Amino acid sequence: MAPYIHIFGLSIPTFGLMLWLATMVGAWLMDRAFRREKLKQDAVLVVAITLVAGVIGSKLWHVLDTPNEFKLEGWKVLWSSAGFAWFGGMTFGIATLLFLGWKMKIGAIRMLDLAAPSAAIGYGVGRIGCLLSGDGCYGIATKLPWGMSFPEGLEPTYERVHPTPLYEFLISLAISWWLWRQLSKGFATGAIVGQYLIISGIARFLIEFIRRNPHVFLGLSNAQLASLGSVVVGLGLLLWSRYNGRKAKPAEAVS
């Protein structure tokens, strides 16, 4: 693993590089979604603002999720290149998109629909940053042939463990592909983001069984409890969209 790339005397964190790449990929896909819907608003600006909010949310949630680490290290955990909580990033990101959708007169829920494929692929690319930096987001020990050790990671481990960031990257690609196809077929407002919350919530819930996170309630981790909440909200959105969502026309192809 390579937590840092050393170029011309500079130490560049690989997690930061992958976060930048995730932003670029997400912005590209969001821009295509806007163009396909014939929207003139700035999709790249939407992604940039949402990214900043998501990073802040993920760090704050990490502090809440790991109070012992905060007691030991203090506020510097907020500036560490490790420790980004998925649920915090998702919550702050969704709140930001709702606000921007209202502010830009696109529609709050419609904005979430348009952003769902970008959110999925951006999350996946960001997970490669976790893999490269070895920030502790990997899984439990395994004897499977693709198990990996992270002796030079930010949180080193010398035993072979499940490379869960790699699993999540592959799952996120599949989720993004599925949502993009659904978005092109015509959809009721709320249906796409509802699917995203359900599918990604189930995926994260299952991945947690081979992650090293502590169990906090009924044998479940904080992330699993948050995932269940994601699924419930997603089901609620699908139900709402069925009876209240505005049906969109099938989207035209974008070159």
Amino acid at 206: L
Q: Give the pLDDT mean for 12-25.
A: 86
pLDDT at 67: 60
Predicted confidence (pLDDT) per residue in 129-180, tens digit: 888 888 888 899 999 999 999 888 888 889 999 999 999 999 999 999 999 9
Percent of the chain predicted with pLDDT > 70 = 85
Q: Residue 138: which H helix or E strand, with range?
A: none
Higher pLDDT, 73 or 201: 201
What six digits make up the tokens of 52?
């900043």
Is 93:122 a contact under the CB 8 Å cutoff? Answer: no
Residue matched to tokens 């609620």: 236
Q: Give the pLDDT mean for 200-223.
A: 88
Percent of the chain predicted with pLDDT > 90 = 47
Higher pLDDT, 244 or 80: 244
C-alpha distance from residue 174 to each of 26, 123, 170 (Å) = 15, 12, 7
Which DSSP string corresponds to 167-225?
Answer: HHHHHHHHHHHHHHHHHTT--BTTHHHHHHHHHHHHHHHHHGGGB-PPEEETTEEHHHH
Predicted confidence (pLDDT) per residue in 180-201, tens digit: 999 888 788 999 999 999 999 9
Predicted confidence (pLDDT) per residue in 89-137, tens digit: 778 888 999 999 999 999 999 999 999 999 999 989 989 988 888 888 8
Q: Give the pLDDT mean for 54-77.
A: 65
- Alpha helix locations (H) across the chain? 14-36, 43-65, 67-73, 86-103, 108-133, 164-183, 191-207, 222-244
